[in-house]
Every structure is written in C-alpha cells, then in structure tokens.
Structure 1
Amino acid sequence: MLGRSSRIAMVVEDRCRPSKCGLQCRKRCPVNATGCQCIEITASSKLSLISEDLCIGCAICVKVCPFNAIQIINLPSSLDKRRHIGTGRIRSSSTDFLFQILAMFWAWVGTNGIGKTTALQILAGILKPNLGNFIDAPSWDEIFRYFRGSELHKYFTRLVGDNMKATMKPQYVDNIRKSVKGKVGDLLNTVDERQVKDTLCDFLELNKVMDQDVSGLSGGELQRFAIAARAMKEADIYIFDEPSCYLDVKQRLKAAQAIRSLLQPKSYVIVVEHDLSILDYLSDYICCLYGTPGAYGVVTLPSSIREGINIFLNGFIPTENLRFREEKLTFRVTESTRGENRGSDTPMLQLSCHDQNKT
C-alpha cells in the first residue's frame, strides 16, 4: 500500500473488476493464506488493495488475474533509503541538492510516463505530496516532518507559507483552449507582472496574433503564448514542461533564449525537455529520470551538460554503477545507399539502438 518497501504493487483501476474475477488474487495469495491481509478489497473503491510491505514478490496475483490488472515491480536495493516525493513513487537523490544552489538552470530528461510532470507539479504547488499513502492524504505537518532536515523541508515550508511563488507552463498546451477564453493581448495584459509584455511578444513573434482569440491559435502559437504568459509572471521558481513542442528550429531557439533570460540571482528555472539540442543550449545541469513508466521514477544527481546527456543516451550511471536501460542510443553518420541512388553524396544521420552486452 505504501511505496516505501522494496517493491511496488500496481493495480490498474480501469481493469480491476473484483465482482467478475472471483477474487482470485486474494484467494491465491500465499500471504493471505497465513492470515495476513496482503490483498484485500476496499469497500470505498471496490478495488484490490495490495500491501507492498507484506508482499513477498511471488507474482501469483499477476498470473491469476484474468484482466491483467496487477503488476509487481521489484525496486533496486539502492533506492531503499532515498526519500520519496510526488505520489510516493518518485524517489530522488537530487532534489535536496538542487535547492541548495540558486541561479542555476536545471533540466530534467527521461522517458515518457516516468514522473517528470508529476514531480514538477509538486514543486510548483499544484499537487500535494502523499508520501506513498494512497488512502489518506497526509497533512502538511506530516509532510514537513518527513522532509525534516532536508532542503525540501525548507522549500515546501516557503511554498506553503507564500514566501515563495512558483509558476509552471503546462505540458499539454492544447488544453489551454478549453480553460482560457479571450483575446491573446487582453490575457497577456492581465499576467504581465514584470512589465515585459511588449519585449516578449516582439521576441516570440506574438504581435500578429494579439487580437485573435486563444481558441483560434495553432499549436505553435499556443506554445509561445503559454511561454510568454509564464515568463511575464513575477516568481521565484519558473518551471517549463516541454516548451519546444510544436515549434520549429528558429522558434525553439527564441523560446530557449526567453526562458534562459528568467534566471536571476535568487531564482530557480527548471525545464523538462526531450530535445537534447535545446537542453544543451539551455541548461547548466541535467538530471536524468529513470524507472518503470507508470510505476515509479528516480531522479539522479545533477550532472554537467555533456555528462548528463551521455548518461541518458548510454542508459548507464557511472557514479552509481547502475544500468537503467539495456540498450544505448548512438548516432552514426553513414553513407546512405538511397542517397547514392538519388545521385547525392550527402551522408545521412542515423539513430541506432545497440545491446550493451554485444558492444
């Protein structure tokens, strides 16, 4: 139940149907046979609830579930002593270190579903950490006690006490059309706390859409609108989740420059991005996230730009002697047969995956 044991038990809510499966997971569980309640059905949610502290990792419940609703994931032993943030399944070795240094630009990179957005929403104050308790949400006093003695304790204390303001650009800018109504110019006027609207709109090429309604903007225009709106805010921590989506190369560089300009002597800027070239252009340090998509994620210690990108591509963390991906990503410039057939001598850039054991 609580994400503090050596394994994680995942129950997919839209697949779990206790009324139609005969409760095979509960009946066949060897721990339940001893009288302990490792698997039980909650009356409120009517779903199978698995105690991760009691689970022995036999995976019998995974095999007998007719709806494939259960997944048991064993965690690396090196994670046992790390603090939990997020939903209790995001474990971090870098967040404390991150908030010890001001005026640095931090970038996070990792596969989809690994918990990047969830962690950012917690740091922005949008979500509340539950420390792995999926039934009763802890109070802020409990959260403060859990992080006592760490930089995150100071961070959450300031965030909750309104002594620090955070602003976050959402990942899915398409949703802006549903939640925000009005003309672009009028909306930007209401958020221009730093009095930089004219400069930013000119730099991000938004002047031509100032009289348009937000609902009529294209994907790229929505992205630039969202970046400008967050950059106009007066905040202590700026968070941008995938700011390069929908943008062409020129627009990505301009967006990166606008975001980089937010870095001040007493502020944080954190960006999640999949475009490695933009990360290289933007960041001072990179944190890689690894784990099992949809289950748990781990934030590594920060690395320099070159080292961090190489860690992500290689799928290997040298400082921890930990491999989090079996294949490494390599880039090769090769002469293409297709190019020769077209009469072109231009080499093609190819991305290939290699089994580390064979290289």
Structure 2
Amino acid sequence: MHIAILDRERCHPKKCNHECRYYCPPVRSGAKTIEFPGQSDDFPVITESLCIGCGICVNRCPFGAIKIVSVPDELNKDIVHQYGIDSFRLYSLPELGTGRVNAILGQNALGKTTTMNILSGVLIPNFGNISKKNDKDYVIERFSKSIMGQYFRDLYNGTKKAVLKNQYVDLIPRVASGTVRDIMKDNDHGNMDIIVDDLSMKTFLGRDVKELSGGELQKLAIGITLMKDADIYLFDEASSYLDINERIRVSDIIRKLSQSKIVMVVEHDLAILDKMADQVNLVYGSPGAYGVITKEKSTNKAINAFLSGYLREENVRVRPTSIDFTVKSSKRTSVTTKVTSWTAMEKSYGSFNLNIGEGYINREEIIGVLGQNALGKTTFVKILSGVIKPDSGSVENELKIAYKPQYISTDYEGTVYELLSTALKEKMEDVFIKNEILSPMNVSELYDNYIGDLSGGELQRTSIALTLATDADLYLIDEPSAHLDSSYRMNVARIIRRVIENNKKSAIVVDHDIYLIDLISDALIVFKGEQGVYGNSRGPMEMRDGMNMFLKDLGITFRRDETTRRPRINKLNSALDRQQKASGEYYYMK
C-alpha cells in the first residue's frame, strides 16, 4: 500500500499551478487521485486508494512538499492516530506496567511525542477516523483485550492521574515567571525539599527562570513533574542539556520511582537508556509520514537491534548499515605529525578559574572531551579557536580552524541553501561533501527552510554539516549530540570519523554522550573541578586512561556488550562492578 503525505507548510499551490496533479498518471487516465476541493487553503487532497507510488508528483513538486511511502497493508488494522488528510499516522501503542521503566527508542518525527501525549490523556486517539469526534469510550473498547484497556479506563475516569514532562524545556520561560523557588512552591505537595536535594537544585533556587541554563531548566521541569501526586509518570527526553553526572542522577531517580508507579521514558542517550530502562519499544517508519511502535523487547536486545539497523521479529531494516564499536588498542604517541599544541594556560571569569594543562593533537586524530558542565570545556575550545584569549599561556594557532559552537546562532535571515552556498561556494557541488556530509545528514531536505524556522535538531544538523564541509586543519565541535535523536547521534559520529580520516585532518569533540565519544575518540581530555568555581583539564591521554579517570569520579564501571562491543554500565555493586573497581579498570576489562 502506498500513501502520499503532504507537508502543508511547504506546499504553495498558487505558485506552482498544481503541477503535482497534472503529472499524476491516475489523473491523466481519468482516475480522481488528487482533488482540489476549493476549500479554505486549496491544498491538494491525495486519495490513498488510487496512489500507485510512481513518485512523479514528488519529482514535479518544486517545494518538496510531497512524500510517498510504502506501508504494509496489515498495519492498517493497528492505526492508532492520524492527524488529518494526507498527514502523519501512528501505528500501535506500547503496553505499560508498574515495577519497571518502560521506554521508547527511535528516530525523531516517528510519533514518540504523539505516543506520550496519548498515554498522558492530552491527545485522544482517533484510530484513523479523522472525521469522527474523539471518543474516550471507544478508545477503552478498542484496547479492551489488552492491559491498555484498563489503563485508559483508569486514566479517563480519573482513577489514575498521569503527569507528562514535556521535551521542550526551553519554552518554560515563556509560560512561567518568577524565581525557581516560587515556581516550585506553586507545585509543592509537601515533597519540595526532598526533590530539590535529589536533583541538586539548591544553587539556583533564587534565580529568575529567564536566567536559567538549559540544564537548569531541565532539572526544574523534572522537579515539577516529580512533585506531582500522580500514578503515571511520562518523561519525554529527560537527559537533554544535562551532563553525564546529572543524567545518571536522574536515571537513578526514575528507576526508584518505577518501583511503585507506572513510568515511561523517551531517551536518546543509549548508555543512560541501557542503565535506566527495563523494557524498550522501538519505533520505525518514515519521519513525518508514519511511525510503528514495536512490541517491547529487553533493553539489551532493543539497543542491539537498533544499532544493527535490522529488527528481526518485524523483518524491517531501519538503517542501511550497522553501527559498530571497536575496542581501541592503539597507543597515543608524539612521534606522528602534530597539528597544533598549547602550553599550560589560565583563564578567569569573575570568581571562576580555569587551568588548562599543556597538550597537543596529532594529524588524523580525534580527541574527545568529557566532564561536568560549568568546568570550562567550552572556554577551552573557544581559546583553541581564537574566539577568546587566555590570561596566560598560548596556542600554536597557525592553521585553519572550523568551529561549531555549543549554542548555534539563528540570526542569519536567509534559507539553509543560501547559508551553505554563501559559505561553501563551489564546494557545494563537491562529490565528497554531497555524498559523505550533506546527504547522510539529510540537509538537502532543509534547503528551502529559513534558518530562524529550524527546529533544534535541524539547526544542529545544518551547523555540523557546514562545519565539516569547511576547509580546515582542525575541527572544534562543541556538543554535536544536542537536540539530535539516537540515530542522528550515531550517524554524526560516523560522519565526523570519516571526514577526519579521509581528509587527513584533526578534531576535538566536546560531548556528554559517552557512546558518541567512544565511537569517535582516539584520545581524551577530562575536566575535573568544582562547577562554577574552578576547572582543571587532564590530558590529552589514551582512551583507557581517560575513561578510567572519568568513570572513577562517577563511581560507575563499563563493560563491553558481547554482540555489538558497545559500552554498557554495570549494575552498581554487582560482582563485575566490584571486580573492575578492585582492579582499577572502570572502562572495561582488557
């Protein structure tokens, strides 16, 4: 079965004179496949039953507004929700239960947030009948043969209360005002002090919400969610903006909560997901067109299936190639060609002091940078890029540098294509750049979008692509995983690795996603200190030494998965955890 999905934001029927209709074979042969009912917007209405999936209308649309996808006929009976004619549809739902952390893993724009809205009661599913008024009794009836029937009965009758932590924490200052303390007091059910301690929020309780960082906004959103007296807790992306220490803290809180409550999470950090979740529902499909929620799998099997790109039970390939981890055994040496080096440096901002140890980076080497927030990682990268100057010390900086900052500006007033073509000029047509950077990042689908209208993930993809396509000797990339789903994070790691190796360049990458750092890094720099007070850099050093130092401070150990070789967090105080700590091997056993 073929379905044609129309992106109404891209469709401009008055500008193209409905060319998609004129070049549609069923229309030319007399079939009424694409109608123009002459209603308010005059958008095309694509009749699914007659669409043959030829793709001609897609090729004739100058604005890229039409997408044709093939959906197995058997899925039609499982459709849960459809937003409108020619719009996104969601198939099936996860089954939730107490005593475990349920999770959803998959690419963005496949219906994860739609699923969370349905499970919270914010959205009443229509089961594909977009003309029928949403009916709660019908929802209960449709799920009556599964445990979700009782779930929705309790939810709709008010027997059980659900609370949803939204993923868009950056919007909080638009809907809330005052200090963090005042906002939390308005939601206090007698457990505010406990939540503040658990989330380590005391340092910013007196600050105005409009002055908070992304990580502080995230903790505020999680704190308000935990303070609610509910039976069902839904966390949509609870780790974004948080450093690895805070992610572990939050995952422990969520696991404890699941002992007595129903808990569902959407998470893109695979290391944290592996630690936190008991069961995972994968989601696959075509972004913006449809999404299918699979039956639950154990967390280990689900992540391995996701990395392999093949869902065996569903017989579906979700990625053309697998993502493979390797155990790095090469030694870092100063014998190879150095790209740049730096002496010991210092930099102070008010009461914050940063001390950077001397170091160097080799050609064709990628150095990963790990550490808590507010220890000076971004300041270090800015010093290397020449954006700011150190108070003492120096950088050998006689080379071209491409720098992707942590916070990406949206001041440019043009489209994505105009930005790239202005910056890259004739390199836009370079085969390597098109095939190895722009195409894998799906940047071409954003060409007609204005920079100011991009989502966080789209802006991140554009910025990474522009940075890697720039001719440079050293690439400085600050938090490339921010706003990206798991698929894009792993894809970005592969692309960075491939660009550096093929062009014989070097890179320094700052990130909190350990999977991404593990995939791309040849060496590590670890930042230690007291957040907002002082920071010290250690390294560059070999991967094993750096990870052992970093993980020891976290109090956790990693092992390698036998199938994929990906790093996995050992259960605290397990036999393997105790054995590795005793031997000093926190990363993984040799």
Quickly name the TM-score band, shorter chain normalised: 0.7 to 0.9
- Tell me the SS of whatever aligns to 2:239: coil
Choose from 2, 10, 14 the match for 1:15: 10
- Tell me the SS of whatever aligns to 2:48: coil
Partner in structure 1 of residue 315 of structure 2? 321
Equivalent pair of 1:331/1:351 in contact (CA under 8 Å):
no
Equivalent pair of 2:98/2:258 in contact (CA under 8 Å):
no
Instruction: Report 1:175-190 matches (<5 A).
Output: 175-190=171-186
Task: Tell me, in whole angstroms, the C-alpha distance in 2 between the residues paired with 1:287 and 1:196.
Answer: 32
The more displaced of 180-189 and 137-146 is 137-146
Instruction: Answer yes or no: is 1:227 the counterpart of 2:396.
Output: no
**AA in 2 matched with 1:249:** I
Instruction: Answer yes or no: is 1:117 the counterpart of 2:113.
Output: yes
Partner in structure 1 of residue 205 of structure 2? 210
Shift of 1:144: 4.5
Partner in structure 2 of residue 89 of structure 1? 89
Equivalent pair of 2:3/2:53 in contact (CA under 8 Å):
no
Partner in structure 2 of residue 290 of structure 1? 284
TM-score by length of 2: 0.53
Choose from 157, 160, 163 the match for 1:164: 160
**AA in 2 matched with 1:229:** I
Shift of 1:90: 1.5
Shift of 1:136: 5.7
Equivalent pair of 2:67/2:289 in contact (CA under 8 Å):
no
Task: Tell me, in whole angstroms, the C-alpha distance in 1 between the residues paired with 2:163 and 2:291.
Answer: 23
- Tell me the SS of whatever aligns to 1:327: coil
Partner in structure 2 of residue 201 of structure 1? 196
TM-score by length of 1: 0.85
CA gap of 1:154–1:134, structure 2 versus 1, over 3 A, is same
**AA in 2 matched with 1:211:** G
Instruction: Report 1:37-56 matches (<5 A).
Output: 37-42=32-37, 43-56=39-52
**AA in 2 matched with 1:333:** V
Task: Tell me, in whole angstroms, the C-alpha distance in 1 between the residues paired with 2:330 and 2:268.
Answer: 27
Partner in structure 2 of residue 244 of structure 1? 239
Equivalent pair of 1:89/1:296 in contact (CA under 8 Å):
yes
CA gap of 1:134–1:338, structure 2 versus 1, over 3 A, is farther
Task: Tell me, in whole angstroms, the C-alpha distance in 1 between the residues paired with 2:98 and 2:264.
Answer: 11
Partner in structure 1 of residue 519 of structure 2? 350
- Tell me the SS of whatever aligns to 1:330: coil
**AA in 2 matched with 1:214:** V
Instruction: Report 1:267-346 matches (<5 A).
Output: 267-335=261-329, 341=336
**AA in 2 matched with 1:108:** I
**AA in 2 matched with 1:75:** V
Computing the radius of gyration from Cα coordinates, the structure with the larger value is 2
Q: Which has the higher contact order (CA 8 A, sep 6+)?
A: 1
Task: Tell me, in whole angstroms, the C-alpha distance in 1 between the residues paired with 2:333 and 2:109.
Answer: 37
Task: Tell me, in whole angstroms, the C-alpha distance in 2 between the residues paired with 1:90 and 1:204.
Answer: 34
Shift of 1:36: 4.3
Shift of 1:80: 4.1
CA gap of 1:144–1:343, structure 2 versus 1, over 3 A, is closer
Choose from 58, 65, 69 the match for 2:65: 69
Task: Tell me, in whole angstroms, the C-alpha distance in 2 between the residues paired with 1:16 and 1:85.
Answer: 23
Instruction: Answer yes or no: is 1:254 the counterpart of 2:249.
Output: yes
> Number of aligned pairs?
341
Equivalent pair of 1:32/1:39 in contact (CA under 8 Å):
yes
Task: Tell me, in whole angstroms, the C-alpha distance in 2 between the residues paired with 1:347 and 1:185.
Answer: 40
Following TM superposition, the consecutive aligned residue runs of length 4 or more in structure 1 with deviations greater than 6 angstroms are none
Shift of 1:280: 1.4
Cα deviation 1:242-294 (Å, max 9, x = unaligned) = 111111121111111222222244x3101111111111111111111111111
CA gap of 1:11–1:329, structure 2 versus 1, over 3 A, is same
Aligned-CA RMSD value:
2.8
Cα deviation 1:321-349 (Å, max 9, x = unaligned) = 322211111111335586554699x9984
CA gap of 1:339–1:10, structure 2 versus 1, over 3 A, is farther
Q: Which runs of 5+ in 2 are unaligned?
A: 337-359, 369-517, 522-590
Equivalent pair of 2:103/2:264 in contact (CA under 8 Å):
yes
CA gap of 1:224–1:347, structure 2 versus 1, over 3 A, is closer
Partner in structure 1 of residue 357 of structure 2? none
